[in-house]
Amino acid sequence: MNINILKTYNWGILAPGNIARKFSTELQQLHNARICAVGSRNAERSKEFADQFGVKRYYDNYEGLASDPDVDIIYIASPHSFHAEHALLCLSHNKPILCEKALALNQSEVEKMIDCAHLNNVFFMEAFFVPHQPSYQRARQMIASAELGKVKYIHGWFGFNKSPYNNSLRLMNPALGGGALLDIGLYPVFDMLYFLGEPEKITAQAEFAETGVDQSISVRFDYGNGVTASIFASFVAACGVGTDIYCEQGILRLRRTSATDQWIEIVRPGDKTTSISWENSACGLKLEAAEAMVCMDDNLLQSSIMPHSMSLSLIKTLDKIRAEAGIVYHGRD
């Protein structure tokens, strides 16, 4: 990563919900970032966020934020059913974008977003925090070096149970792109793509909630030559989050309790388990913001850590899983 800081960037926050607050709290730890403005369709929420983070400008709409001449880059944190609409608005105003995952509801929407960024010659990146983390980069290096031999199987999971749910809110609301796959299942899906690439075959099965969204999803990837991967995600199974990578000479376990608390365990037969951890300051959502600013320093339109090709591969794979499991977003497929 380029350590030569060329300027301080004024950030705009679009949709000040829970994830935006987490992101903004970490963003304040970067000396070359400043939260300049916030936009929400709810004036009260916009002002509340502005007061909490000491932001002077707050808008009761997104157009004002997108057209603010002092905003250098916008972080989009609205529900993913609105990401394409909001990204296209900001990109049309030539604003660089860091957009929360899932980047959109389907591949067609993601392609439109990327095409618009290219057309306007503007930086655009999906805010997918895991590939920026030292744990993932270390794990990938170990696999590339064959330190544990070849990968034979990966299992990834992400689940929690916070029932009873308010069905009008995002998680269980089909109108907001709710469901386990796009909210949390895309993390283990990403892991498989990150470590193994796209599979030759996908099979999937979902358990549906009364609202029609997938509250649990199970997926199998087949890569040929006997290499497989399995994925599980759920709003009704309190299984936590993790990824186990089974190799010829041991197991590599990726673990985290939050974006900043993460570690790797290396298990070799006959040896004690080795654990590698990192300081909280070396991890977290702030790393994706730092990467975005480094790219802008270098006049790049995309990141090499989370490039457009990876976002396209992820959404294409998610579309295939939805087709296999019968998950439909009415009017958006």
Q: What one-character DSSP code corresponds to residue 172? A: G
Between CA 85 and CA 74 the distance in angstroms is 14
Residue from 28, 16, 6, 95 nearest 285 by CA: 28
Residue 37: strand, helix, or coil: strand
pLDDT 10s digits, 116-125? 999 999 999 9
**Beta strands 33-39 and 57-59: pairing type?**
parallel
Note the pLDDT of residue 1: 44
Residue from 31, 37, 39, 40 nearest 10 by CA: 37
pLDDT 10s digits, 136-146? 999 999 999 99
pLDDT < 50 positions in the chain: 1-3
Q: Rg for the chain (alpha carbons), in Å?
A: 20
Q: Which domains does the chain have, with CATH numbers?
A: 9-129 (3.40.50.720), 131-284+315-325 (3.30.360.10)
Note the pLDDT of residue 330: 73
Judge contact between 285 and 126, C-beta under 8 A: no
pTM of the model: 0.95
Note the pLDDT of residue 285: 98
Residue from 239, 246, 290, 291 nearest 265 by CA: 246
Note the pLDDT of residue 3: 46
pLDDT 10s digits, 298-321? 999 999 999 999 999 999 999 999
DSSP 74-142: EEE-S-GGGHHHHHHHHHHTT--EEEESS--SSHHHHHHHHHHHHHTT--EEEE--GGGSHHHHHHHHH
